[in-house]
Chain A
Amino acid sequence: MHVYEVFTKRDGRDEFRHVGALEAATDELALVLAREGYLRRAEGDRLWVVRRDHVIVADDNFVAPNADKPHRHHDGAAVAARRKASRQSQQ
C-alpha cells in the first residue's frame, strides 16, 4: 500500500488545493477511491493524486534560516512616508 496525497480543483481560476490523503495499492485504485472520498459531492472538476514518496521534500533546516530576515517583510510604510515627505517639500 502507498499513501497518496489528493488535490482537487474547480474549473476556472482556482488553483489545485490539497484536500487530504488516502492509502491505496495501485495508482488506479488511488484515483477510484479519491473520487469517492473527495469528489462525491462534486467538490471539484479536476483531480490529482500524488504518491507521497514521490513528493520531493525539503528538510526543516534547509527552510529555517529564512525566518530571521525582517528586512524582507517590508509593508511599504517607510517608502510611503518618504514619498509623502517629498510631496510636502515640493509644495
Chain B
Amino acid sequence: MNEQEAIREFLLAFADDEHLMGQQHTEWIGVAPFLEEDLAFSSIGQDELGHAALLYELVLELDGIEPTDTAVDALAYGRLSGGYRCCHLVEYATKNWAEALVRHWIYDTFEEMRWQLVKSSSLPELASIARKALREEAFHRRHADALLDKLLVAAEARNRILEALDAVAPLVEGLCEPVEGEPKAIREGLAAASTADLLEPLQQAIEERFSLSATQTPAAPAEGHRGRVGGAAEGQRGRTSRSAYFEPLLARMREVLDYDPEAVW
C-alpha cells in the first residue's frame, strides 16, 4: 500500500463511519419516543451525513475524480461490502431507543476526539472540515448528555440504559480500531495520533458517564461488568470485514437508488 492508498483508506474509514451513523440516526424520524426528539435526532444524523459527504469528496479528489453528487453517491453506496471501512458499532442494528441513545453518546464522544486528531492535519481541506465538525459535535454531545442526565437518575430508565450499554460496549474497541493504512497516513501528517490511542480515554469517559457513583439510585443493579469494553475488533480484521448487520443496512440505503440507478436527482 503506497502513501496515497493509505491516506485514502484512512479517510474512507472516517467517512464510512459517519455515513452509516448518520443513516442510522435519521432512521428514527417519525418513530423516536417523542416528536421533538425525532426531529432533533434525525437532524443530528443529517450533520453526520454532511461530514461523510465532505470526506467522500476528499477521497474522490485523491482519486482524481470530480466530486459531483453522482460520484459521491457512487462511492457512498456503490462499493462491494469488502470495500467499506466502517466499524461494526455503526453497522449494528439497535434493538431499541436506549441502545440508539447510548451508541449516539459513545459515537459522538469518540468522534469529537477523532476530529481533534485531524484539526491540524497536513491536508488543509481535512483540517477545515474538522473545524466545522467540532462546532457541531459540541452540540451533539450536549443533546446526548441532556437526555442521559435525566434518564440515569430514574431507576427504570437507568436499568434500561445500562442494559443497552451492555449490548453496545463490546463494539467500542472496534470503533477505535485503525485501518491498515493508518500508520502511513499519520507519517504523512494526516492525523496527530492513532485512533487506537482514543480507546483508553473513551473507555474512561464511558465509565464516568455511566458509573453508579456519579448518581444515587436506590434500585440500581450491581456494578462491576457494566460498560466494560470488549474485544470485538478482532472480528473486524482491520475494518475489512463486515458484520451480519451490514448487508440489510446497505440494502435499505440503496432501496430508492436501486429503482432507477440512472435517475438524475
- Taking Cβ atoms with an 8 Å cutoff, the residues of A that contact B are 22-26, 28-29, 32-33, 35-37, 40
Contacts and interface: CB of A to CB of B under 8 A. Distances in A.
A40 B43 contact: yes
Nearest to A22: B36
Nearest to B41: A36
Given A32-B40, A36-B39, A37-B39, A25 B150 contact: yes
A37 B43 CA distance: 9
B30 to A, nearest CB: 15
Interface of B: 34, 36-37, 39-40, 43-44, 139, 142-143, 146-147, 149-150
B39 A26 contact: no
B149 A26 contact: yes
A8 to B, nearest CB: 15
Contact of A33 (B37, B149, B150): B37
Q: Which of B36, B40, B139, B143 has the most CB of A within 10 A?
A: B36
Contacts of A29: 146-147, 150
Contact of A37 (B40, B44, B143, B149): B40
Contacts of B34: 23
Nearest to B43: A36
Given A26-B149, A40-B43, A33 B139 contact: no
Contact of A35 (B37, B139, B150): B139
24 contacts: A23-B36, A24-B36, A26-B149, A26-B150, A28-B142, A28-B146, A28-B149, A29-B147, A29-B150, A32-B40, A32-B143, A32-B146, A33-B36, A35-B40, A35-B139, A36-B36, A36-B39, A36-B40, A36-B43, A36-B44, A36-B143, A37-B36, A37-B40, A40-B39
